[in-house]
Chains A and B, each alone.
Chain A
């Protein structure tokens, strides 16, 4: 709460008020999450639990309106100027033009079809960064009452219901649902999100060599597997993020920024 007050003092009302009412008017506000030792659902032989330092995370994903403001301030990220090596051909293709949204509803929808490079540049421009995977997983483990609701089958089913929904439907605006126990919205049920270290999610096929069994085992030991096979929400995120190139974009992939605690 302290972080949100400092970073978005003018939004004190939204912070103090009902979380469900928090909507487009507090776009860009950050919420501070406490330090913790987090048990990731990924199985890493070298580190089963990970320390997470205190950090702040955007309450909602970055919207098209916010991303448009960024593109206007940093025109090298316009879709007609961005190098193809930093953003693929679908980058912002859902907008009407390089600096016009397609319709008013888009302004509160999460910005999607942005590459990792573009998302990183957005966060850097506001003195922030993309969250790490472990920060994202930690924030996303919460339901509206508990910081870690991952063992609750009912909560898991609610998340899975989102994955069952056809992705052809128009995206809702950000911040529509209830905030989780950390005060963060939309970690589930809206879009996929970039993490800074998305390319650290190594699946074993990524490590190939010339048939040296010792080397193969070494690489396999560091590759991830799931420690928590029931946690499909995390499994699907990992599968999706591990398949992406940094210049890649998809219709359902957005982002939010984070800041390390000072």
Chain B
């Protein structure tokens, strides 16, 4: 009996150990030199879960930047993500992640992010809305090639780009055409990335 308990405990311990090391399975293979994931970046998502964005490694991602109090362009960025999903068949849609990174971490707490997710009816299995730490906003914008300036009234002036990352974080394509009409060239690139 005692042995059984012991071995049961051992199994639990092994399970815990394997869970703890699970993210490192990817780390075993080095990132390609072009990967954006070389930039250390802790993101806190709509559930309040904080993790380095390397957690998205292993899955093709469409990434953009936004902020929740934005009334004009940012809803169009969400529309863009939805348009891309509509253009894909179900199996491809399952394999795509959409990551929207806030440029306004001071205001975009998990609750604000969760509200957008709910109001825009975004599937949390595929969509992640997340905020970096304030000190990292300029760097993540830099690596994605997105430019922004905070205005005196707290709004942001920013360029709007959708960036396609392969599973290893290499930038495959980008478009600055946002809105409910998807950029056909960009859709082709997304399909191509998901076809592998």
Contacts and interface: CB of A to CB of B under 8 A. Distances in A.
Given A84-B33, A85-B38, A86-B38, A245 B142 contact: yes
B42 interface: no
Interface string B140-178: 011101111111110101111000000001000000111
Contacts of B145: 245-246
Contacts of B38: 83, 85-86
Nearest to A200: B149
Contact of A209 (B36, B146, B179): B179
- Interface of chain B, helix or strand or loop or mixed? loop
Given A46-B151, A219-B157, A222-B157, A210 B72 contact: no
Contacts of A199: 138, 141-142, 146-148
A247 to B, nearest CB: 7
Interface residues of A, number: 31
B148 A209 contact: no
A116 B142 contact: yes
A47 interface: yes
Nearest to B171: A85
A131 B36 CA distance: 24
Interface in A195-238: 196-197, 199-202, 206-210, 214-215, 218-219, 221-223
B158 to A, nearest CB: 8
B176 A202 contact: no
- Interface of chain A, helix or strand or loop or mixed? loop
B88 interface: no
Contacts of A197: 138, 149
B34 interface: yes
15 contacts: A47-B151, A47-B152, A85-B33, A85-B143, A120-B139, A200-B148, A202-B158, A202-B159, A207-B159, A208-B159, A209-B73, A221-B157, A242-B147, A246-B139, A247-B143
Contacts of A200: 147-150
Interface string A42-69: 0000110000000000000000000000
